[in-house]
Structure 1
Amino acid sequence: MSNKQKSGSRRIYVNEKQRQFLSSTHKRRTFVGGRGSGKTTVAGHQTRVEMNYLPRAKVFLAGLTYTQLLSNTVPAMEGAWQAHGLREFDPKSGFGHYVKGKRPPSEWVKPYQAPSNYENVITFLNGYTVQMLSMDRAELARGGNYDGGHIDESALMKQEHVNKILRPMIRGNIYRFPDSPYHQTFCDYTSVPWMPSGQWVFNTEDLAKEEPDNYFFLESTAYDNVAVLGEKYLRDLRNGMTPLEWDVEVMNKRLTKLPNSFYPSFNEEKHGVWKTYTYTHDEETGLTHSIDSDRDPKRLLELSFDFNAAFTSLTVHQEHGNEFRALDALWVKQSDTTVLDALVEKFCDSYEGHERKELLIYGDRNGNNKQVGSNLTLYQTIQQGLAARGWKSTLMVQGLDPDHRLKHIAINQLLAENNARLPVLRFNRNKCKFLIISIQQSPINPDWTKNKNSEKSSIDQERATHLSDCFDNIVYRKYGHLFGQAQTFEPVYFLGRD
């Protein structure tokens, strides 16, 4: 939404909250905004302003992974740059204002401190340079020297990485930009955190109250950007979301911490792992592609199922020595066939490249019941679907479900990690976000059972207790014997390749 004036200047529409953020000259700024509020777009406007006033400066753009930055952040920022009339450089026509992932034309102005290579770097024709940093490899970002910095979805990052790695790298070069209010600006943009580890983003709010001349904190909802989104878009968005998702994702309401958890020993920082990707450089595009690094393609996988008509789910796991890893969480809510068949297909599509097509299957004991109108159990249906896609599977579900109190105690002893002889549980924080939320949002009843009211509410069901049930079913059946509970692990059915 821009139009060009006769003078040659360009008018760019921003909403009132974006205007407030861009008008601020505070060195430390935080923008907490709901979905559609324009927080990533405002990062594009902010870097465009910096480009104008800080030629030859180098700033960082940090995200949790390169995948996040390249797929979501940079395209939204480019939309803002293009509204200002900037275009990506075209080597055929020789026209353009910035290049991504490659060395800029030799005639362009060079930054004061040029990067050692231009992989994951965006360079503008006046030397203003944006270095992308992936914080799932935080140690590789150490030692840089930047004139400013930006973080997208900061609530996903560790506070330690922000305070000890990113902020200290904004230093020096004061003599080059002695009068610029934009030099050494540090901005972060994020949605309201779903998980406790992200609550640190509200520290800027407290600091802004104590030192209003040095800190700026801003909150925004999608309705602040209604002139761009339109009333119909917001009505349709609300109709398609649960009340909780609407409140948090769009209206920017903060979550409160759950006091009576079924998993009091779970600690997101201890049990969650961000470093689940390795990266390869694409010489043609100059950009980086991610590859799973926490999964060994030559080892068998283990699945755990939970069955519900409106939400059928599974979690994907793998043993690595003494470490039992939760790699992924998948689910299906509706399908043209059946949700169970669709879930099996979703898994097979997602793991088509896994070399060892062999599985152990865990889950809800009710899966051993025959389906209505069929001679097959749910697990037999799963195994047939897997076999059709080349997977050999062994069913590990026998007997009754465990006593709730014993299950609660055993799982929390594993999570506590007070016994070196017990296995260690780890969670892929990139792919198991909703499994972690499900664990964190699972209350306990006075009789030691898990409170499953969320499964009957209007809450988005990936945030209900289903996925945590998948976790319980596989962990207790695998490791309950370590706590004196008799577990039988003889396979019941064999289906698949010879």
Structure 2
Amino acid sequence: MMISKKKFVELTIPQLCCVMAQQRHKYIEMGRGGGKTTIFGYQMRELVRQMPKASFALVGSTYSQILARTLPSAIEGLEMFNLHQDIDFVVGRCGKKHGYEMPYQPPNQWNNIIHFPNGAIFQLVSLDNANSGRGLNSYAELGDEAALLDPEKLFTNVKTTNRAKKEVFKDCSLLGSEFYVSSTPINKKGKWFTEMEEVAKKNPKEYAFIKASALSNPYLNPAWFKKMRDQAVSEILYNAEILNIRPKEIVDGFYGNLIPAKHYYTDYNNSYLETIGVVARSEHFNSNQDNDVRVNEPLIMSVDFGVFNCCVVSQVQDDTYKVLKSFFVKSPKLLDDLFIEQVIPYYRPHQEKFVYLYGGHDGNNRLPNDERTYFQQIIEVLTKHGWTVYLMTHGAAPTHTDKYLLINAMLKEHQMRLPKMRINEHNNPDLIIALERTEAKEALKGGIEKEKKDERNKLFPQQHAPHLTDAFDIPIMTMFNDIFKGSSLLLSESRIQTT
């Protein structure tokens, strides 16, 4: 057996606070570069050290997120404390044949287990799959990127399992503990995490809420902060991601009836994700992982053009308009790159290769130094890759007031003739931020319009400006505005006849 050399890890003041805090329930809001990976690795190591043969819940919002982000971060954190994969622990398999002790409650399957030689295990629990935590009696719980977690599912799938006790562990300080780390949330869904600060203030004996920015880490090169500021696409993101400053909430939103708990959903094909294993490569994360795509029905693709090119993909499924996924490229990437590098590879598994193509009317403009229009360019690229395309954008563009009235009516779901609207949360993170942050203002000639100032601000992240929301709007307006206006007219006539 390999004997590891002693390794000394110096902790920052916030990291020491996290380690030394006596509370069993710890919530850590820390900017990137603040050292979350280090304290996460320390917490895992301490759980293993304190409670041999115990089972712990390692939580992620989805199995896809666990494979792509949570697990690699956990492995990196453990390495910082001299615990190395395939030497000091194994992932996705049982270590019994290597002489590992077995846990008090061995799992039925080991594909989502981290196993340590003293018998301690971490079970990877994804909140989009209620079965991933089934049968688990955990002695503690922890999760990375906690702002992405659904609080109701977290309670049902994880917190209720954190109940195991054994006489041998009665003096362990981490028995029944919670440990969640995250950078500050930038959308409404993560508000529950920052609200834990108030819980900690009311119950300081049981809960600790610790905040720190990257400035707390003295081991970061000062040039790194300048580099991050220069490369940050906006001051908002730099403040949130690096300095841990919470963004202000938009009150007068253009999509005012958008409610995360109602309109966002998660629907991964976890059976597929389990087949690709814990060493999945980027090419495995294609539309096969999406359980919400009807593979034998056409896709709706809507494009917004310019220096920032983006595409929103949707389907009408029964009485629901589902926004499946969104893509974008920034200059110097071009429109071709958007489809060749992202859209087409992602939907290569799709069976019915038909596209209903929508876009702004500037899609009829000719490309620079080219006879083709933007729409013709997209159609040519898709056709070369085996897709049949129907161009659906015709007639005059709707007004912002029309968009505001129709989309907020659909979000409210009071008109039976209009479909419900649902957005795949994990496939549309930037679209969701753009929808939540797009403001409404009074138009000069009356009515309501989108506030577009962020599109003219070169320092603002264009994926969070209204571009993606424009691509989101176009098919909805084309397909449903006449129905909406007809419904409104029928309602008005009915009221006249009634009176």
Is this a same-fold pair by TM over 0.5? yes
Kindly indicate whether the alpha-carbon contact (under 8 Å) linking 1:25 and 1:182 is maintained by their aligned counterparts in 2.
Answer: no
Q: How far off is 1:351 after superposition?
A: 1.9
Q: How far off is 1:211 after superposition?
A: 2.1
SS in 1 for 2:332: coil
CA distance 1:283–1:343, shift in 2 (3 Å): closer
User: Which whole-Å CA distance do the structure 1 matches of 2:36 and 2:279 have between them?
Assistant: 24
Corresponding position of 2:163 = 171
User: Which whole-Å CA distance do the structure 2 matches of 1:144 and 1:324 have between them?
Assistant: 36
Deviates most, 109-118 or 427-436: 109-118
1:475 equivalent to 2:476? Answer yes
Q: How far off is 1:287 after superposition?
A: 6.7
Aligned length: 470
1:88 equivalent to 2:89? Answer no
- Report the AA paired with residue 436 of structure 1: I
1:340-371 deviation digits (Å, cap 9, x = unpaired): 22222232222222222211111111212233
User: Which whole-Å CA distance do the structure 1 matches of 2:435 and 2:319 have between them?
Assistant: 22
Deviates most, 107-116 or 176-185: 107-116
Kindly indicate whether the alpha-carbon contact (under 8 Å) linking 2:41 and 2:80 is maintained by their aligned counterparts in 1.
Answer: no
Kindly indicate whether the alpha-carbon contact (under 8 Å) linking 1:99 and 1:122 is maintained by their aligned counterparts in 2.
Answer: yes
CA distance 1:63–1:37, shift in 2 (3 Å): same
CA distance 1:200–1:179, shift in 2 (3 Å): same
Corresponding position of 1:412 = 408
Corresponding position of 1:157 = 149
1:9-60 deviation digits (Å, cap 9, x = unpaired): 5422222211210112311100111122221331111110111111111110
1:239 maps to which of 221, 230, 237: 230
CA distance 1:12–1:342, shift in 2 (3 Å): same
| TM-score w.r.t. length of structure 2 | 0.89
Q: Please, which runs of 5 or more residues in structure 2 have no aligned partner?
A: 488-499
Q: Could you say which structure has the higher helix fraction?
A: 2
CA distance 1:266–1:83, shift in 2 (3 Å): closer
User: Which whole-Å CA distance do the structure 2 matches of 1:87 and 1:262 have between them?
Assistant: 50
Q: How far off is 1:232 after superposition?
A: 2.7
Q: How far off is 1:81 after superposition?
A: 2.0
SS in 1 for 2:70: helix
Q: Counterparts in 2 of 1:449-464, with a 5 A limit?
A: 449-457=449-457, 458-464=459-465
User: Which whole-Å CA distance do the structure 2 matches of 1:281 and 1:470 have between them?
Assistant: 29
1:136 equivalent to 2:128? Answer yes
Corresponding position of 1:59 = 56
Kindly indicate whether the alpha-carbon contact (under 8 Å) linking 2:301 and 2:358 is maintained by their aligned counterparts in 1.
Answer: yes
| TM-score w.r.t. length of structure 1 | 0.89
1:392-451 deviation digits (Å, cap 9, x = unpaired): 111111111113222211111111112233211111111111111111111111130111
Q: How far off is 1:136 after superposition?
A: 1.3
1:181 equivalent to 2:173? Answer yes
Query: Alignment identity in percent?
Result: 27
- Report the AA paired with residue 261 of structure 2: E
Output the aligned Cα RMSD.
2.1
User: Which whole-Å CA distance do the structure 2 matches of 1:169 and 1:108 have between them?
Assistant: 25
Corresponding position of 1:383 = 379
Q: How far off is 1:284 after superposition?
A: 9.2
1:86-139 deviation digits (Å, cap 9, x = unpaired): 2223xxxxxx22111112124322212222221210010001110000111236
SS in 2 for 1:127: coil
Q: How far off is 1:223 after superposition?
A: 2.0
Deviates most, 27-36 or 327-336: 327-336
1:298 maps to which of 284, 296, 299: 296
CA distance 1:302–1:324, shift in 2 (3 Å): same
1:270 maps to which of 238, 241, 262: 262
Kindly indicate whether the alpha-carbon contact (under 8 Å) linking 1:36 and 1:222 is maintained by their aligned counterparts in 2.
Answer: yes
Q: Counterparts in 2 of 1:251-330, with a 5 A limit?
A: 251-280=243-272, 291-309=289-307, 311-330=308-327
- Report the AA paired with residue 310 of structure 2: S
Q: How far off is 1:480 after superposition?
A: 1.0
